[in-house]
């Protein structure tokens, strides 16, 4: 390969790399915008993005507590209704 062809080939490769770099940069910017939007949504809900994991864990525990409480209340209600249900059967 002579010098001119070699230079042309190298220019093509360089241009291809620049094009790929530009696409990657565009994707990175779009991802950063989406991330910023998610952070803003968190802050609107009074949750700092850095505390998101702790908040999720706290909400999971609260959900489990409420689920257990509801189950207990339903069990009590069933027990209280049982005599009346037996009476009508």
CB under 8 Å to 39, separation ≥6 — which residues? Answer: 49
> Do both 11 and 42 map to the same domain?
yes
Q: Same domain, yes or no, for 62 and 85? A: yes
- Please tell me whether residues 64 and 42 are part of one structural domain: no
- The reply to whether 40 and 2 lie within a common domain is yes
Q: Tell me: the pLDDT tens digits for 5-63?
A: 999 999 999 999 999 999 999 999 999 999 999 999 999 999 899 999 999 999 999 99
Q: What is the C-alpha to C-alpha distance for residues 78 and 85, in angstroms, rounded to an integer?
A: 10
pTM score: 0.59
CA–CA distances in Å: residue 2 to residues 7, 13, 27, 30: 9, 17, 38, 42
Range of the domain at 79: 51-89
Q: Are residues 59 and 78 in the same domain?
A: yes
- Cβ neighbors of 55 (< 8 A, separation 6 or more) are 47
Task: Give the total number of structural domains in the chain.
Answer: 2
Q: Roughly how many angstroms between the first and final C-alpha of the chain, as a whole number?
A: 99
């Amino acid at each position: 390969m002579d010098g001119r062809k070699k230079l042309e080939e190298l220019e093509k490769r360089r241009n291809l790399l620049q094009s790929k770099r530009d696409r990657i940069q565009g994707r990175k910017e779009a991802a950063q915008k989406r991330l910023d939007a998610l952070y803003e949504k968190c802050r609107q809900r009074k949750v700092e993005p850095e505390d998101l994991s702790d908040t999720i864990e706290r909400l999971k525990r609260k959900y489990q507590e409420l689920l257990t409480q509801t189950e207990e209340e339903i069990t009590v209600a069933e027990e209280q209704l049982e005599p009346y249900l037996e009476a009508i059967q």
